[in-house]
Amino acid sequence: MHKIYKILFYTCLLSIEFLATTTLKIEIVESIWDKANHFIAFFVLYLLLSLAYKNFKTLKKFLLLLLFGLQIEIVQSFINGRYFSLMDIVADTIGIVLGILFYKYFYRKYMSS
């Protein structure tokens, strides 16, 4: 089962990287509030990372995803029509933190027994 979660995690990671760095206008992505996109993306990434790599500590997962979010913003600063946004990193962080809380609750309640 871990292999499936790893495939889902990396598919999601690569998809987010593409969507964050493309100059294409993608209607469904652009019709949603940008900060919600960041929040949802990093919430899902945290859950998939936790399911794929159960041996990683929470801090490690948090830092890896935060670095990924920072990398996206740095890359965007070099793309015409895109820019570095500290508020996007804040939205990423909120998604990660709520992912941590949700995972800890869900895992304890449904998967640890």
* Predicted model pTM: 0.88
For residue range 42-87, list pLDDT tens digits in order. Answer: 999 999 999 999 999 999 999 999 999 999 999 999 998 888 999 9
pLDDT band for 27, please (50, 70, 90 cuts).
low
Residue 59, class by beta-carbon neighbours within 10 Å (0-12 exposed, 13-18 middle, 19+ buried)? Answer: exposed
* Nearest-angstrom CA–CA distance, 111 and 85: 37
Can you give the residue range of the structural domain that contains 81?
A: 2-111
Q: Rounded distance, CA 65 to CA 13, Å?
A: 10
Amino acid at 67: L
Nearest by Cα to 90 from 66, 63, 60: 66
Amino acid at 85: S
Residues in Cβ contact with 49 at an 8 Å cutoff, skipping those fewer than 6 apart: 9, 56, 61, 64, 65
Predicted local confidence at residue 83, as pLDDT:
86
Q: How many domains does the chain have?
A: 1
For residue 66, give Cα distances in angstroms to 30, 38, 42, 46.
23, 12, 9, 10
